[in-house]
Structure 1
Amino acid sequence: MLLVKKVLNNNVIVAEHPEYEEVVLIGKGLGFNKKIGDTVAGDKAEKFFVLREEKDQEQYKQLLNYVDESFIGLMNDIIEIVEDRFSIRLNEHIHISLTDHLFYAIKRIKQGLDIKNPFLNETELAYPKEFAVACEVVDHINDELNILIPPGEVGFITLHIHSALTRRTLREVNRHTQLISELVLVIEESLNIKMDHKDTRYLRLVRHLHHAIERITKEQYMDNQEPLKKVLQAEYPLCYNLSWKLMKIMQQALKKTIPDAEAVYLTLHLQQLSKQ
């Protein structure tokens, strides 16, 4: 038996749990006539998850004012799918952020409004495992609700999954994806080329930029490449100077020091692209 700490509605309560401290329990009529301090049988809950922060509990309570219980149940199934694929318990905030996002996304789809995602390719390249699971999530929603979610939405779901896996805010994850897109645009303009997003050179570049941003954010700096740097500076001055331009953009966006060695790796990628 668990102790009721808060009743969110007739079907959702917050209760004390011996292992997880506080959990959200979901079940038909579970909160009916219940008061703070009452006991409730945990096995009567159809679903349960952890919401430790008071702010998250309040946001989830507000969510229940406009999202019906059947959709809440669908979202819990989706989050279970994601946790099962990665064998990890996600940051509990995904119960709020992804539910809210998908509720309004599906509402727009049913109204015939298009969903555009300018960063879809960059997102798939940056987070391939999350993207694959997001595709599975979309298939599940399409089957359950008999709708057709457009491809662009897969990218947004991917970012929510990555945010919950890494415990980074969605704003930070979005910022990194947009930074890569900005860097690609600068490269295209500087080299006067239009990159084919299916070209292996483009794919390698975007993956490198993604890993570079991750390393820089975590301050995992690379080994010194001073001898090779001097050779590349002399052999490929255009690409070498462009690499420093890109590094300055990254430094300004990330508010982190960019190691000089990054110029070497960027120059090598840029030289391959410049052959176009």
Structure 2
Amino acid sequence: MEQNVVIKKVLNNNVIIAEHPSYEEVVLIGKGIGFNRKKDDSVSFNKADKTFLLSNEKEKQQYVDLVPHIDEELIDFTNDILFHIEKRMGEELNQHIHVALTDHLAFAINRAKKNMQFSNPFLQEIESLYPKEYQIAMEVVTMIYDKLGIQFPEGEIGFIALHIHSAVTDKTLREINRHNQLINQLVQLVEDTMKVTIDKKSIDYHRLVQHLHRAIDRVHQGESVGEEIKLANMLKEEYPVCYNLAWKLIKVMQKWLKKPVDESEAIYLTIHLQRLTHKS
């Protein structure tokens, strides 16, 4: 059944904000949906190819300010990209990605056209921590090349992957980046202390980074991994260097996160470190 909505604001020929009887304000995207229309006009909800909510007032205003400065075809293409991401992730994305990723891609495309390249110091950590998001980000970069003929630098894959991860976990990019900085610092401490260069492509590096990531999450959630006193004593005797380094890592985590870290984390970190440094 056809349902009409009332236009609250026309952002461009293809994007409008309308008042919906059930969802309050919605963003409607469709070819020509805003053409020759104005505030308070009635339009069929079915004319929209895509719809999404922006219930957060700040994000809605950001989107309203952003859209007029971006090419209409790019807005439409970005929404195709978001649809692809949502389908591949198999879950609904947080509404803030409509603002954040649209803004990021517009600037990234502009940088690429000017041959300005930004390095991503956490690229390998991102690939290790969020493999599914990283794979989908690679697909997005391919979509952009196929559609626009623009080749993004590898670092952009990492940035797009972070936006995807942010949208499925409801974590802010700032929070995710802080965690990646901490993990990077911890890995650097391992290399400096053990005087090794860790193979960032190895499965043991991947396991260490995954463990550090989960440990940080456990700290935030106040979870414990359980006490294993006998195992701790055995590891302390068998692998004293790795055990002491594990405690150094825990102290850095506590200082960075400003929260206590469960002592049992030292056991599992020691095991990871021994496996990693032994192979190195």
Q: TM-score range by the shorter chain?
A: over 0.9
Q: CA deviation at 1:198?
A: 1.7
Alignment of 1:17-28 (within 5 A): 17-27=20-30, 28=32
1:168 and 2:162 matched: no
Change (3 A) 1:89 1:29: same
Asked if 1:109 corresponds to 2:112, the answer is: yes
Matched, 1:70 2:73: yes
Contact 1:4 1:16 in 2 (8 A): yes
**Partner-residue secondary structure (3-state), 2:28:** strand
SS at match of 1:64: helix
For 1:83-98, what aligned pairs fall within 5 Å after superposition? 83-98=86-101
Matched, 1:240 2:243: yes
2:257 to 236, 251, 254: 254
- Aligned-residue offset at 1:152: 1.3
Deviates more, 1:182-191 or 1:172-181: 172-181
**What's the secondary structure of 1:25's corresponding residue?**
strand
Q: Is the 8 A contact 1:13 1:26 kept in 2?
A: yes
Percent of pairs with identical residues = 51
With the length of structure 2 as denominator, give the TM-score of the two structures: 0.93
Greater CA drift, 248-257 or 149-158 = 248-257
Distance 1:35 1:274 in 2: 65
CA RMSD in angstroms comes to: 1.6
Question: Are residues 1:35 and 2:39 paired?
Answer: yes
Once residues 220 and 108 of structure 1 are traced to their aligned partners in structure 2, the CA distance between those partners, rounded to angstroms, is 43
Pick aligned residue for 2:200 from 182, 197, 200: 197
SS of residue paired to 1:48: strand
Structure 2 contact 138–157 (Cα < 8 Å) conserved: yes
Q: Check the 8 A contact 1:8/1:31 in 2, yes or no.
A: no
Q: Is the 8 A contact 2:52 2:95 kept in 1?
A: yes
Moved segments of 4+, more than 6 Å: none
Shift of 1:96: 0.8
Q: Which runs of 5+ in 1 are unaligned?
A: none
Say which of 144, 147, 152 aligns to 2:147: 144
Shift, 1:19, TM fit = 4.2
* Number of residues of Structure 1 aligned to a counterpart in Structure 2: 275
Aligned residue for 1:212? 215
8 Å Cα contact 2:12/2:72 also seen in 1: no
